[in-house]
Amino acid sequence: MPGNTARRPLPSVLVALYGALVPLLAALLLAAPPAAARDGAAREEAAPTATLTEITDFGANPSNLEMYLYVPESVTPNPAVLVAVHYCTGSGPAMYNGTEYASLADRHGFIVVYPSVTRSSKCFDVSSPQALRRGGGSDPVGIKSMVDWVLDTYDADPKRVFATGISSGAMMTNVLLGVYPDVFAAGAAFAGVPFGCFATTDGSEWNSACANGTVTRTPQQWGDLVRGAYPGYTGPRPRMQLWHGTEDDVLRYPNFGEEIKQWTDVLGVSRTPASTDTPATGWTRTRYGATGDRAPVEAISLQGVGHNLYAYGTMGARVLTFFGLDGQGPAPQPQPSGCKVTVTTNAWNTGLTASVTITNTGSAAINGWKLGFTLPGGQTITGGWGATYAPTSGAVTATNAAYNGSLAPGASVSIGYQANHSGNSASPGAFTLNGTACTTA
């Protein structure tokens, strides 16, 4: 209404009603719990900690994605958020089990979101016009809703939201950083293609020319595709880490060079490497725009490696270093100078029990421990004692109970679990205690 419009007096019946309601509203407000208390309760009820949980009703979700969430027990105040995007034929739970981001979250206190495709291909939409523009009505919209839900529910830090993915998930990482540059601070793409390279207009999810590495553009043309996803945006752009194997026969190696062209242009840095080194055998790392761990663009080429390049236990930590998440979170757990694990397994037709004894063979006390081990294929934990176990298959972390978290030098603690098996009833072959390898007996 215009500012000079006269306000009409309330009718007398409304005045009377208003007078009656004011005391009632005041009483209700005095009786209500503080907003912070309600918010805290909501966070506690949102998802259990240290386990993978499916979240429903998280917001706009035009392509019917599923949302899986991992919240560590030691989640930090205003935590960072990592979106881990799966490959074709994969799922959110598969990404959770096949990567170490949940265990890294336990160490550093951030939250992990695992989007999951429900369409039959199990591939993310990185091809349609809807996916390649902001708010277009496809997978990126649902993923942004997941991020928004975590930011709101856990009071997470909007300046520390990151994305990483493998294959189809790597392509989606490129798309997310292009469509939502104001949401994501950085990304790490394992065996992907540039933003817009997989674009199709016939409804197909597959672009053979791009997959075969025959789509080439100038750096500015690639950069314009990214800039066109959010016209008018002039804010900062997310940093990008790129990984590719030279023998990739699914998304061929030339795509790696095209990605470098695209993101150096988007970030306005020289395509001449600021540094080149070999952080591991067969790896060549080039950094663009700076020489440090958080360069605008970092590219790692893996000599002789094919499409399935992601290696559990060696690459996730490097992603966190690039994102700047490895220095955040709770204080590190005490590192034992020595430990020994003894395990005895009793099996029957389809089940087994395992009794595990952990001994601190070091010279300093341990206050709070996590025992890491990998279950043989086909085994699934159905129950346990002396610790909490998560996840129930694959790479498992057993976390001390409230009563047995302290281990003096020379002291031992006994825990155990019951599991189903599909024929292999062997014990785990190796154990770590707070990240330190233990001897076994």
Residues 210 and 255: beta-carbon distance below 8 Å? yes
Residues 193 and 236: beta-carbon distance below 8 Å? no
Q: What's the burial of 411, exposed, middle or buried (CB within 10 Å: 0-12/13-18/19+)?
A: middle
Q: What's the Rg (C-alpha) of the chain? A: 26
Q: What's the burial of 19, exposed, middle or buried (CB within 10 Å: 0-12/13-18/19+)?
A: exposed
DSSP of 135-198: T-SSHHHHHHHHHHHHHHHTT--TT-EEEEEETHHHHHHHHHHHH-TTT-SEEEEES---TTTT
Both tokens of 140, joined, read 């990126």
Residues 322 and 188: beta-carbon distance below 8 Å? yes
- Report the C-alpha gap between 99 and 50 in whole angstroms: 15
Tokens 């003096």, residue? 408
Name 440's Cβ contacts closer than 8 Å, sequence gap at least 6. 340, 341, 342, 343, 429, 430, 431
Name 257's Cβ contacts closer than 8 Å, sequence gap at least 6. none
Q: How far is CA 317 from the centre of its chain?
A: 12
Considering the candidates 91, 167, 168, 427, report the single residue annotated as catalytic. Answer: 167
Residues 101 and 82: beta-carbon distance below 8 Å? yes
- Report the C-alpha gap between 340 and 327 in whole angstroms: 29
262-295 burial code (b ≥16 CB/10 A, e <16): bbbbbbebeeebbeeeeeeeebbbbbbbeeeeeb
| Known catalytic residue at 167 | yes
Give the amino acid at 53: T
The closest alpha carbon to 179, from 221, 220, 139, belongs to: 139
* Torsion of the alpha carbons at 306, 311, 317 and 322, rounded to the nearest 10: 10
Residues 77 and 121: beta-carbon distance below 8 Å? no
DSSP of 364-406: S-EES-EEEEEPPTT-EEEEEESEEEESSSSEEEEEE-TTS-E
Q: Hey, is 418 helix, strand or coil? A: strand
Cα–Cα distances (Å) from 309 to 83, 230, 377, in that order, read 19, 31, 21
Instruction: Give the active site residues.
Output: 167
